[in-house]
Structure 1
Amino acid sequence: MPKEQYLTPNRASGPNSTSRTEPFVKVIAVIATLGGLLFGYDTGVISGALLFMGTELHLTPFTTGLVTSSLLFGAAFGALISGHFAAAAGRKKIIIVLAVIFAIGALGTSLAPDVHWMIFFRLVLGVAVGGAAATVPVYIAEIAPANKRGQLVTLQELMIVSGQMLAYISNAGLNAAWGGEQTWRWMLAVATVPAVALWFGMMFMPDTPRWYAMKGRLAEARKVLERTRAKSDVEWEMTEIEETLSEEENKNKPSLKELRKPWLFKLFLIGIGVAVIQQLSGVNTIMYYAPTMLKAVGMSTDAALFATIANGVISVLMTFVGIWLLGRLGRRTLTMIGQFGCTACLLFIGCISYFMPETVNGQPDMMRSYLVLLGMLMFLSFQQGALSPVTWLLLSEIFPTRLRGIFMGGAVFAMWIANFIISLVFPMLLATVGLSGAFFIFAFIGLFGAVFVIKCVPETRNRSLEQIEHYLHDWLSNDVETRAVRSPERKAESH
C-alpha cells in the first residue's frame, strides 16, 4: 500500500466514509459492553458491601484491604490470560467464557461463608474484570467501521462508569429497602443478572472479520462485513484486511517473542505507557477512597457518601462528553487535554488541603471541604471526559492485528498492577504524608506523564486499523526499513 494512502487517507470509504452506522453494529456494541458494565459494578459495589460484611466475616483492616484489592490482582492476570487466548480462540468465545466467570464470581462472593472464600471469589471476579478490560475494546474496534470506531469503543468506558454508578445506587437502594447484616450478599449477587445477559447475547453475535481472516476463514469475514458495513465499504475493507494479512502470512504464531523486533518493542512500551499513566493520575484513589478523603477534610459521613454518588454521576455525564469529543478531536490532542487537566486538578487539591486551615473557630472549615470536592469533580471531568475514554481507544487501535490480543493483554496487565499497587499504597500515604502530600506526589508523577504524552502518543484518528499498523511501523522504525523497501519504487519512478 503506498505510504500516502495511509498517512493521509482521502477515500470516500473506510475512515472517511459518510455511510451511516448499520444497526447491527450498535447491537453488537451494546451487548459486548455489558462486560464493561460488569467491570464497573464489581469494582464499585465493594465500597458499600464492606460496611455490612465486616462483622459476619470477622474482617480486620488487613483482610479488608485484601478483599478490596484481590479483585485488582486477579484482573491483572485475567487481562494477560485472555489476551493470550483471544488470538487462538477468538474474541467472541473469550467474552462468552468471561460471562460465565463473572456469574461464578458474583454468586461465589454473595454466598462466601468466610473471608478466605470471599478473597478467592474476588480473585475469580478479577480474572473476569481484567479479561473484559482487555478483550471487549479489541472486539469492538475490530468489528466497528473505521469512521465510527472512536465512539463505539468508548461505549466501554461509558458502561464502566455506569456500572460504578449503578453499584452506588444499588447499595443505597438495597440498604434502604431491607437493611440488616445480610444486605451485602444481595449487593454482590445482583451482578449475576448482567453476566447472564452478556452470555446469552454473545451467543448470537459474530466474531470479528479480522479474526476470521487471520484464521483463513475469508468467506465468514466477508459475511460479517456485509452485515456491519455499508455496501460501498465492504470491498475496500476486505481488500485492506487481505493485503495486510498477506504481508504477514509467512510469520509464526503470535507470541511475545515478536518483541525482539525493535519497532514492536517500542510500540508495546508505548501501549504500557498509555495504560499506566491513566492509573498514575490517581483516578481510582478518588473512586475507591472518596468518602475517606472527604471525611478527612471535615465532611460528615452522610455528606461524604452523597458526594461519592456525585462522583459517579459526573463520571457518567463526562463520558458522554468524551464520546462527543472523540468525534471531533484527535486521539493525541484529547490525551494531552486529559493529562494536563488531571495534573492541574491534582495540584489544586494538594494546594487546597495544604494551605487552607483545617478548622475555623474550632469547627471544620467547610469551605476547604467543598473546594476539595470541587477539585475531585474537576479531576473526574478531565479523567472521564478525556483521558480514560481515549486510553481504551488507543489501546484497541495501536497494536497490529496478529498481536492485538497478546499486546492488549500485556498493556492491561500493567494497568491493573499499577491500580493494585496504588490502591494498596494510598491509605499508607494518607497516614504518612497526609492528603496534600499524596496529591502532590500524584501531581509530580503527572508531569512525567505529560512529557510521555507529548513525546510518545501517536495520532490514529481518520485511519483504518491497517493504515495505523503501517503508519506506526514506519514511524517507530524511523523510516529506515520503509526507505529500504520503497527505494526500488522511487528509482523506477525517477526513470
Structure 2
Amino acid sequence: MDVSKDTTQAPAPAPAVPDDAPPTVTRRLRIITVIATFGGLLFGYDTGVINGALPYMTDDLGLTPVTEGMVTSSLLLGAALGAITGGRLSDARGRRRTILTLAVLFFIGALGCTLAPTTAVMVVARFVLGLAVGGASVTVPVYLAEVSPAERRGALVTRNELMIVSGQLLAFTSNAIIARVGGESGGVWRWMLVIATVPAVVLWFGMLVMPESPRWLASRSRFTEALDVLRQVRSQQRAEAELAEVTALAVKDEQEKLGGWQDIKAVPWVRKLMFVGFGIAIVQQITGVNTIMYYGTQILTDAGFAADSALTANIANGVISVLATFVGIWLLGRVPRRPMLMTGQIGTTAALLLIGVFSLVLPAGDGRAYAVLAMTVTFLAFQQGAISPVTWLMLSEIFPMRMRGFGMGMAAVVLWLTNFVIGLVFPSLVSGIGISNTFFLFVVAGLFSLTFVKLYVPETKGRTLESLEAELKARFS
C-alpha cells in the first residue's frame, strides 16, 4: 500500500481562530519550551560526553574493544526500556510528572557514572542514565507538541532537537577543555561526566512550576484544567475553540478505547501507523549518525589526527550540528516534512560514501584527516538539519491522542534498539572489516531508507493534531 499518496483527501486547515495572544501568553509558552527542553540538553550531553571520555576511561577501567562497546551501548539499551516505560508512564501519570521523575534519574545516573570504580558499575550507571535519556526522548517532544499551537508546533518541538545538539556541543567542548587542563592525570573523565548533574537539577526545579499538557488533561476528562492551561499559552478565544476540538476527539477516543496493546492488534489503521513509526525511527538511526556522536574522536584519530587534536577537531562536529539544527527549524516552517527527510537522506548517504572512499584511497596524513573531517561535518549538516528534527517531530505528531505517549514510546524503543546494535557492533566492525567497508554498509542502508520514506511516510505539516489524526485514520483504514 502506497501511503505517500492521499487515498482520501482530508482537510488540512490552518487553525480556524487566529491566535492574537498577548505578550504575557507568548512569554509563558517560551518559558515552558526552554524548561522542558533541558531534558533534550541532558539527552545530548549524556550521549555525547562518552565521545571524549572513553579514551581516558579505557586506561583507568582497563576497557577492551568489547567492554568499550558495552559501556557505550548500555546507555542505549537503557534508553530503549526508558522509551517504552516513559511513554506508558506519561500516558498514565501525565507528561509533567514523568519529566520530573526523569530529572531525578538523570541526576542519579550521572553521579553513578562519575563515581564508578569498575566497568560493571559504569555499565549499570550508564543503563540508569539511559532510562532517563529514553524517557526524555519520548516525553519532552510529546509535551511540547501538545502545548504548542498548530502553526508553531514544528518550530517549538524541534527546539528540543536544538537542545540535544547543543548538549552534544557542550559535551565535546567541555571534554576538550578538561582534557587540556587535566592532561593525562588519572580520572580526568570523571570531571567530564559530573557536569551533567547541573542541568538535571535545573530541569527538576523548573518543571515543578510548569503546567501539565492540556491534551493529556483532556484525555482524562479534566476539561476545566485543560482550559486553564490553554489560557496560559493561547488567547482566550483560541483556547476555547481548541478545547472544543480536543474534547470532541477525547470523547471519541474514549469510546473507541484506543491506547493499549490490544487496541494495536484490533485496530488496523493504528497498527499500520505503528509500523510507519517504526520505519521512521529506524531510518533516523541507520544513517550511522551515532557512530559519529559516540566514536567521532576515534574516527578522526584513525584518519590521522593526534589524540588531543581529534578532541578539538570534534568540536567542529558539535558546532555544525547546532548551526544545522537552526537551519532545520527555519526550514520546517517553510517546507513539507517528507521532502525534507528525503533530502537529508540523500546528503548523509553521499557523505558516508565519501568518508569510506577517502579512508580507502587517501594516504595517511593531514590530507586524509581533513577530508574525513569535512565529510563528517557535511554528514552532520544533513543529519541534524533535516533527518533528526523531522524524525522526532513526526513521531510526536502521528499517533492518536489517547496513545500518543505509548505510540511514540514504542517507536522510540525501535529507534534506541537500532542505536544500541550499531553502537555495540561499530568498534568490532571497524576492527574486522575496516572503516571504509563499515561506512559502505551504512551507504547501502541509506538507499533502503530513502525507498521506505518515498513509499510509506505521510506528510504531517499544516494540520492540527486533531485534524491530522482524522486524516491518518482515513488514509490507513
State the TM-score, normalizing by the size of structure 2.
Answer: 0.94
Q: How does 1:349-428 map to 2 (within 5 A)?
A: 349-354=355-360, 356-358=361-363, 364-428=364-428
1:348-370 deviation digits (Å, cap 9, x = unpaired): 2223333x342xxxxx3533332
Cα displacement (A) at 1:23: 1.1
Question: Does residue 472 of the first structure (1) align with residue 468 of the second (2)?
Answer: no
Q: How does 1:193-212 map to 2 (within 5 A)?
A: 193-212=198-217
Cα displacement (A) at 1:171: 1.8
- Range 18-27 or range 455-464, more displaced: 18-27
- Range 42-51 or range 194-203, more displaced: 42-51
- Range 253-262 or range 441-450, more displaced: 253-262
Structure-1 residue corresponding to 2:125: 121
Question: Does residue 435 of the first structure (1) align with residue 440 of the second (2)?
Answer: no
Residues of 2 paired with 1:429 and 1:159: CA distance? 31
Which of 151, 154, 162 is the matching residue for 1:158?
162
Residues of 2 paired with 1:62 and 1:435: CA distance? 17
CA contact (8 A) 2:155 2:332 kept: yes
Cα displacement (A) at 1:170: 1.5
The amino acid that maps onto 2:200 is A
Structure-2 residue corresponding to 1:77: 81
Residues of 2 paired with 1:48 and 1:266: CA distance? 41
1:118-174 deviation digits (Å, cap 9, x = unpaired): 111111001001000011000000011111100110011111111111111222223
Cα displacement (A) at 1:69: 1.3
Residues of 2 paired with 1:196 and 1:5: CA distance? 47
CA contact (8 A) 1:338 1:383 kept: yes
1:421-448 deviation digits (Å, cap 9, x = unpaired): 0111112221232222112111111111
Q: How does 1:296-335 map to 2 (within 5 A)?
A: 296-335=302-341
The amino acid that maps onto 2:270 is L
Structure-2 residue corresponding to 1:57: 61
1:224-258 deviation digits (Å, cap 9, x = unpaired): 11110123311221111011112122233721211
Residues of 2 paired with 1:390 and 1:352: CA distance? 29
CA contact (8 A) 1:12 1:18 kept: no
CA contact (8 A) 1:397 1:460 kept: yes
Q: 1:92 to 1:6 in 2, by over 3 A?
A: farther
Structure-2 residue corresponding to 1:481: none
Residues of 2 paired with 1:115 and 1:236: CA distance? 55
The amino acid that maps onto 1:218 is F
Q: 1:58 to 1:343 in 2, by over 3 A?
A: closer
State the TM-score, normalizing by the size of structure 1.
Answer: 0.90
Cα displacement (A) at 1:13: 2.8
Q: 1:13 to 1:455 in 2, by over 3 A?
A: farther
Residues of 1 paired with 2:186 and 2:453: CA distance? 47
The amino acid that maps onto 2:415 is M
The amino acid that maps onto 1:398 is I
Residues of 2 paired with 1:265 and 1:41: CA distance? 34
Structure 2 residue runs of 5 or longer lacking an equivalent are 1-6
Structure-2 residue corresponding to 1:492: none
1:185-236 deviation digits (Å, cap 9, x = unpaired): 2221111110011000001011111111111110000001111012331122
The amino acid that maps onto 1:239 is A
Q: SS at 2:414's partner residue?
A: helix
- Range 342-351 or range 402-411, more displaced: 342-351
Question: Does residue 7 of the first structure (1) align with residue 11 of the second (2)?
Answer: yes
Which of 86, 90, 102 is the matching residue for 2:90?
86
1:277-320 deviation digits (Å, cap 9, x = unpaired): 11000111112222222232333333322221110111011100
CA contact (8 A) 1:6 1:463 kept: no
Structure 1 residue runs of 5 or longer lacking an equivalent are 359-363, 478-495
Q: SS at 1:299's partner residue?
A: coil
The amino acid that maps onto 1:141 is A
Structure-2 residue corresponding to 1:291: 297
Structure-2 residue corresponding to 1:232: 237
CA contact (8 A) 1:22 1:230 kept: no
Residues of 1 paired with 2:336 and 2:78: CA distance? 33
Cα displacement (A) at 1:10: 5.2
- Range 17-26 or range 398-407, more displaced: 17-26
Residues of 2 paired with 1:11 and 1:39: CA distance? 32
Q: 1:85 to 1:347 in 2, by over 3 A?
A: same
CA contact (8 A) 2:69 2:425 kept: no
Cα displacement (A) at 1:111: 1.5
The amino acid that maps onto 1:459 is E
CA contact (8 A) 2:338 2:457 kept: yes
Question: Does residue 174 of the first structure (1) align with residue 178 of the second (2)?
Answer: yes
Which of 103, 106, 109 is the matching residue for 2:110?
106
Which of 183, 190, 194 is the matching residue for 2:195?
190
Residues of 2 paired with 1:378 and 1:264: CA distance? 37
1:344-391 deviation digits (Å, cap 9, x = unpaired): 22222223333x342xxxxx3533332222211111110011110111
Cα displacement (A) at 1:85: 1.3
Structure-1 residue corresponding to 2:449: 449
Q: SS at 2:305's partner residue?
A: coil
The amino acid that maps onto 1:228 is V
Q: SS at 2:255's partner residue?
A: coil
Higher relative contact order (CA 8 A, sep 6+): 2
Structure-2 residue corresponding to 1:41: 45
The amino acid that maps onto 2:72 is T
Q: SS at 1:412's partner residue?
A: helix
CA contact (8 A) 2:12 2:468 kept: no
- Range 96-105 or range 112-121, more displaced: 112-121
Residues of 1 paired with 2:180 and 2:299: CA distance? 24
Q: SS at 1:22's partner residue?
A: helix
The amino acid that maps onto 1:343 is T
Structure-2 residue corresponding to 1:460: 460
Residues of 2 paired with 1:384 and 1:378: CA distance? 10
Q: SS at 2:399's partner residue?
A: coil
The amino acid that maps onto 1:373 is L
Structure-1 residue corresponding to 2:4: none
